[in-house]
Structure 1
Amino acid sequence: MHTIWKGSISFGLVNIPIKLHAATEDKDIKLRSLHKKCHTPIKYEKMCPVCEEELSIGDIVKGYEIAKGKFVILEEEELNELKRTTEEKAVEIIDFIKMEEIDPIYYDRSYYMSPNEGGIKAYGLLRKALIESKKAGLAKIVMRSKEQLAVIRVLENTLLMETIHFPDEVRNAADVPNVPAEDQVSKKEIDTAILLIDQLTTTFEPEKYTDEYRSKLMELIESKRTGKELVTPKEKKQAANVTDLMAALQASIDKTKMKTEEKPKPKKKATRTKKAQ
């Protein structure tokens, strides 16, 4: 399993060298955007609309828009220094909590944690302590230049870290428009709805659920592939850099011939006739 982050996690005076591995993977089917006319993949270029120039990496800086059209420029060195000082804190468990106290809306991404060199014993200690206490560790971690809250718990004998949103990143439910303040339903309607819920209630078995759209899309792609419904982008015409050798030779001969014909013929020298003796 690919390692995406190396560091250490600590609680109290216990330090655990760890590696992070993505616990989930994106199974979305990636579709490319092609030019309808020639089926060539479309390029998305970084362009300045004012200068009408294509930009390279060196032409781009980071800026924060403080008002419409007004930016504060942040230099790359400043961002790197800020990143370095925050990453020095590594990962520290700051509190221990119960998982049920966290609403699922806060969850972001999941990562498996494995012990790095010299961390096996401390890894086992934290795992056992979390199981026995029925608690989860609440920590802070800096990943991809962003500080995040994270919950560390045990899943199938493996430490699992789930990043969670900060409170100010979760929008207020009270701001959702058109939500009725009171339920305008009868007792009979409620009882019927509860009866339906009871009939559909089951044990959660994730293996039962599949992405039907993805499966049907792959079936469609496969049927087109086996049916030879394939397209190939048209090749871009290259400038002719190779000159026809025979044409070049003939042109050279003709040119030389023309120059020769244009040269004035030398005048013949007068010859003297000897007198008869």
Structure 2
Amino acid sequence: MHTVWKGSISFGLVNIPIKLHTATENKDIQLRQLHKECHTPINYRKVCSNCEKEVQTEDIVKAYEYSKNKFVVLDNEDLEKLKKENEDKSVEIIDFVKLEEIDPIYFEKSYFMAPDSGGGKAYSLLKKALMESGKIGVAKIIIRSKEQLAVVRVYNETLVMETIHFPDEVRSSKDVPNIPEDQQVVQKELDTALLLVDQLTTTFDPEKYTDDYRTALMELIEEKKSGKETVTASEKKQPTTASNVTDLMAALQASVDKTKKKKTTPRKRATTAKVKKNA
């Protein structure tokens, strides 16, 4: 697995050198957009809406829009300094809590934690402590210049770090529109609903759930591929640059001048010695 972060995590005086590996992957089928006429992939350019010119990376600055069309420009030097000041590779577990106390809405992304060199014993100690206590650890970590709140727990004999949202990142459910107020429920309808819930209750087995749309889409793609219903992107025409045109014209003009010179220059006649007759 690819390592996405290296550092250490500690609880109390115990320090564990670790590596993080992404625990999940997005298996959505990515479809490209092609030009209908020539089946060439569509490219997207960064264009200034005011100048209507394509902008290069070195011409772009970062800024915060504090009101409509009002910005605070942030220099790369300022951001790098701020990043270094906060990029502490040592992560401390702040608290230990019960997993059921955290609503799933807070969870964001999962990472497998692996011990780095020399960290095996401390890694096993933390894992055992979490398993015996039934608790999870709450910590802070900076990944890709962003401070993250995270929890550390045990999953299949492996420590897993789950990044979770800060409270102000979770929107209030009170802002959701059209939520009906509690209405009177007929007891018979409730009993029937509870019966249905009971009949569908089972032990969670993730292997039984599959992405039917993705499977069907791949089958369709393979079917079209087997039936030779494929297209090939047109080869990109190499543009003639101004320098090439200039060089070509210069070469042509030189050739014309050379040919013209040959035509206008009289051929030299053979030199013969003239014999002067003596009178």
Shorter-chain TM-score tier: 0.7 to 0.9
Report the more deviating stretch, 45-54 or 68-77.
45-54
Q: Is the 8 A contact 1:90 1:142 kept in 2?
A: no
The aligned residue for residue 269 of structure 1 is: none
**Pairs within 5 Å for 1:56-67:** 56-67=56-67
- 1:29-86 Cα distance to aligned partner (Å, 9 max, x none): 1111111111111111111121222111111111000110010011111111111111
Does 1:145 pair with 2:141?
A: no
The aligned residue for residue 46 of structure 1 is: 46
Report the CA distance between 1:260 and its aligned residue.
Answer: 5.0
Report the more deviating stretch, 251-260 or 105-114.
251-260
**Pairs within 5 Å for 1:108-123:** 108-123=108-123
Q: Is the 8 A contact 1:97 1:136 kept in 2?
A: yes
Q: Is the 8 A contact 1:138 1:152 kept in 2?
A: yes
Q: Is the 8 A contact 2:137 2:152 kept in 1?
A: yes
Q: Is the 8 A contact 2:88 2:142 kept in 1?
A: no
**Pairs within 5 Å for 1:1-277:** 1-88=1-88, 90-239=90-239, 259=261, 261-262=263-264
CA distance in 1, matches of 2:79, 2:258: 68
Question: What RMSD, in angstroms, separates the aligned Cα atoms of the two structures?
Answer: 2.7
- 1:93-150 Cα distance to aligned partner (Å, 9 max, x none): 0000000000000000011101001111111111111111111000000011111111
Paired letter, 1:168: D
- Secondary structure in 1 aligned to 2:19? strand
- Secondary structure in 2 aligned to 1:58? helix
Report the CA distance between 1:184 and its aligned residue.
Answer: 3.5
- Secondary structure in 2 aligned to 1:168? helix
Q: TM-score, normalised by structure 1?
A: 0.88
Report the CA distance between 1:237 and its aligned residue.
Answer: 2.5
- 1:136-165 Cα distance to aligned partner (Å, 9 max, x none): 000000011111111101111110111100
The aligned residue for residue 273 of structure 2 is: none
CA distance in 2, matches of 1:166, 1:215: 36
- Secondary structure in 2 aligned to 1:54? coil
- Percent identity of the aligned residues? 63
Q: 1:261 to 1:149 in 2, by over 3 A?
A: closer
Report the CA distance between 1:234 and its aligned residue.
Answer: 1.3
- 1:192-248 Cα distance to aligned partner (Å, 9 max, x none): 111111111111100001000000000011011111111111122235799xxxxxx
CA distance in 1, matches of 2:39, 2:153: 49
Report the more deviating stretch, 254-263 or 14-23.
254-263
Uncovered stretches (5+) of structure 2, i.e. residues with no partner:
245-252, 269-275
Uncovered stretches (5+) of structure 1, i.e. residues with no partner:
243-250, 267-273
Q: 1:13 to 1:189 in 2, by over 3 A?
A: same
CA distance in 2, matches of 1:225, 1:5: 39
Report the more deviating stretch, 86-95 or 166-175.
86-95
Q: Is the 8 A contact 1:62 1:73 kept in 2?
A: yes
Report the CA distance between 1:90 and its aligned residue.
Answer: 2.7
CA distance in 2, matches of 1:98, 1:19: 24
Report the CA distance between 1:21 and its aligned residue.
Answer: 0.7
CA distance in 1, matches of 2:256, 2:101: 93
Q: Is the 8 A contact 2:113 2:159 kept in 1?
A: yes
Paired letter, 1:131: M
Q: 1:258 to 1:61 in 2, by over 3 A?
A: closer
Paired letter, 2:117: E
The aligned residue for residue 247 of structure 2 is: none
